[in-house]
Structure formats: C-alpha cells, structure tokens
Structure 1
Amino acid sequence: MKLHERIDGRLRDFIQAQAMFFVATAPSGPEGHVNLSPKGMGGTFVVLGEHRVAYLDYHGSGAETIAHLKDNGRITLMFCAFQGPPNIVRLHGRGRAVLLTDPEHAELVALFPEAPDRHGVRSVIDVDVHRISDSCGYSVPLMTYAGDRDLLLKWSERKTDADLAAYRRAKNEVSIDGLPAFS
C-alpha cells in the first residue's frame, strides 16, 4: 500500500477512468449497519481538487449514505481496476450530502457537465478527502465493461417532481437503522 499526499494527475486519471466505484459509510457507535453501495454512470463523479471529490446521488431504495453523513460524516470511496494494470485506490474523508432542497444544490450539480440526466438527482455527495491510498489489486478480476445501465434514468424520467418528493417521503425519510435522511 502507498499513501499519497493529493489526488494528482495519475491518480485523477485512474479514478476518472473507472466505470464504477464503491461507497462505504457507517453510523456512529457499535450498533447499526455498515453500508456499501456500488455507484456508476458516466459523468456522475468529478474530482474537484487535490483533496475534494463529489458524485451525483440519484433516488434509490434507501438513503443510508445521506443518513450516515448527517450522523458523522465518515465516508470511504474505493475504485478498482477491472481492466488494465491492477490497482485499487481508496479515498477516505468527511462527506456531506447537499440535498436538492439546499440552495447550494444547483451550483454543485452544475459541476457535472457530462451527467446523463439531472432530474433524478436527490443530492450531491461532496467529500473532503484526508487520506489517499492505493494498493496492488492483484486479486481483482479482469472484467469487460459493456456500458451503463439506463434503468434508473428511465425510472426517474417517468416521475414528476411531486412523484419524486413522495418517493423520498415513503422510502428515504430514515435509514434502515432509523437515522434521519430526508426527514
């Protein structure tokens, strides 16, 4: 494992070339569930600086990341090379969820010019990165990228703003451990 002082050119290029990444968060204390979510879709992740990254958070069946960030801010993002030379990059940091009801939301969403659609975005996850590491990735399998799925985008396209607000009330008010997300 190697520690890096910043997200520099080589690391930035590697991170931005990955079609998917993983997000891990957990509630405070010994109880509660650790959450690990795969993320993807081209144009939905950006490196904003040497110690800052962000991604678009679309509506989903849960809101664990948002709830955990409200609780304690801890977050880790992991990028694996499924093609080319083996590599794993982890970004540890403090994050915040900028909800679509926040005045800063539109300003942050504008930082994603290549996002496929912004209608279904419920928050922007903004991460202040304080630890950057990479490791070998020798056991990560080689896999071929066939393309992004469009099911989430098609689902949100069929929803009005009112439909999405009702969905958040029904599915995203609290985490599976009862922590507030959109409540």
Structure 2
Amino acid sequence: MGKQLPELTNQLIKFIEEQHIFFVGTAAAEGRVNVSPKGMDTFAMLDAKEVIWLNLTGSGNETAAHLLKDSRMTIMFCSFDRKPLILRLYGKAEMYHPRDAAFESYIKYFGDTEGARQIYKLKIDMVQTSCGFAVPFMEYKGERETLKTWATEKGDTGIKDYWTEKNQTSIDGFETGIFE
C-alpha cells in the first residue's frame, strides 16, 4: 500500500506530469491550516528532490503568510482516473516574489503568467504514496479561463492595487510580505 521515499521516482514524476490539479498545505504554529487547490500550468520539477510552483493572484495570500512563520509545506496530488494513488511531497519551501532574482530564473518554467504573485520552491525531505482507494473517479474537462481573463483585464497596476487591498495580511492577520 503506502510507501515513504527520500525523493521522487521516475514513475512518480510521470504521475505528476499527468495531473491537472494539486493541493498545497501550510500552517503557522497558531491560526488556521490552509489547503489550496492549484491548477493550470503552475507546477514544474527541477529534479527528484526539488519542485517549484507558480502562485497566481487570488483572494487570499495564506501560503505566503504561513511561510514567513514556518517553511513547512505539503503538496498533494491524487488520481481521479485509472489507477488510484495519492502522492504527498513533504519539505521546506522558499518563496520568491517578482522583485527577487530567483523569481526571474524560475518564471521561464511556466506558460501563462498573468497575475503571477510568487514562486515557491519545495525542497523535498520525504515523498509518501498511499492507496487512494476512496478518491472518486472524475473527468477532466479543461482549464478555467476566469483567473487569466481577470488578471489580464486588471493589468499590472490593477493587480498591484488588488495586492494592496486583499493580499497584505492573512485571514489570521499575519503579514504576507507582498511588498517588502
């Protein structure tokens, strides 16, 4: 059934490449735990022990606030078709904003980047698989264009105004570092 590994195998990398959604979990020592679904072309593997993902502008900025307090992150993939599988990547994450040099070196891994807010790099310290027998079958029908359209219509100035209004603190009142 489940296994714990020190890094991704070729088979698990192939599994990740076939997925259309992943989930990111973070938490500070106090306050709420956050789990966020992510889609679109926002995940890339650097190697078997490091991955990056692009965080697009959204209604909250919980991951950023949590990482300023504790760098723990879990990324989860699960199969909704064919062979059942749940895959979790555990590790410590680093956060890069558009103002950071590392952001510029990693942004090339992603397609559409309208509304790009941060890039996170996870250094994997454990990979865990589990059965996924209770995950339902679901059919992928395509990507939503809503976020991309919204970000394009806002433009760079509108996005930064939105960050000012909605993305400077978490729901628990923690700073996100969006403008530091």
TM over 0.5: yes
Unpaired runs of 5+ residues, structure 2, are none
Pairwise mapping of residues 25-174 of structure 1 onto structure 2 (< 5 A)?
Answer: 25-28=26-29, 31-41=30-40, 43-112=41-110, 115=111, 117-174=112-169
Measured after TM superposition, the shift of residue 129 of structure 1 is 0.8
Confirm whether residue 16 of structure 1 aligns to residue 17 of structure 2: yes
Counterpart residue identity of residue 67, structure 1: A
8 Å CA contact 1:23–1:76 kept in 2: the answer is yes
8 Å CA contact 1:22–1:78 kept in 2: the answer is yes
Measured after TM superposition, the shift of residue 179 of structure 1 is 1.2
Measured after TM superposition, the shift of residue 180 of structure 1 is 1.1
Counterpart residue identity of residue 164, structure 2: R
Distance 1:62 1:46 in 2: 23
Measured after TM superposition, the shift of residue 178 of structure 1 is 1.3
Counterpart residue identity of residue 149, structure 1: R
Confirm whether residue 176 of structure 1 aligns to residue 177 of structure 2: no
Partner SS, residue 154 of structure 1: helix
Unpaired runs of 5+ residues, structure 1, are none
Number of residue-to-residue matches in the alignment: 177
4+ aligned runs moved over 6 Å, structure 1 = none
8 Å CA contact 1:66–1:96 kept in 2: the answer is no
For 1:3-62, what per-residue CA distance to the aligned partner results, in whole angstroms no more than 9, with x for missing partners? 12211210100012111011110112xx30000111111x21111111101111000000
8 Å CA contact 1:58–1:123 kept in 2: the answer is yes
Distance 1:76 1:121 in 2: 21
- Give the share of equivalent positions with the same residue, in percent: 38
Distance 2:17 2:173 in 1: 34
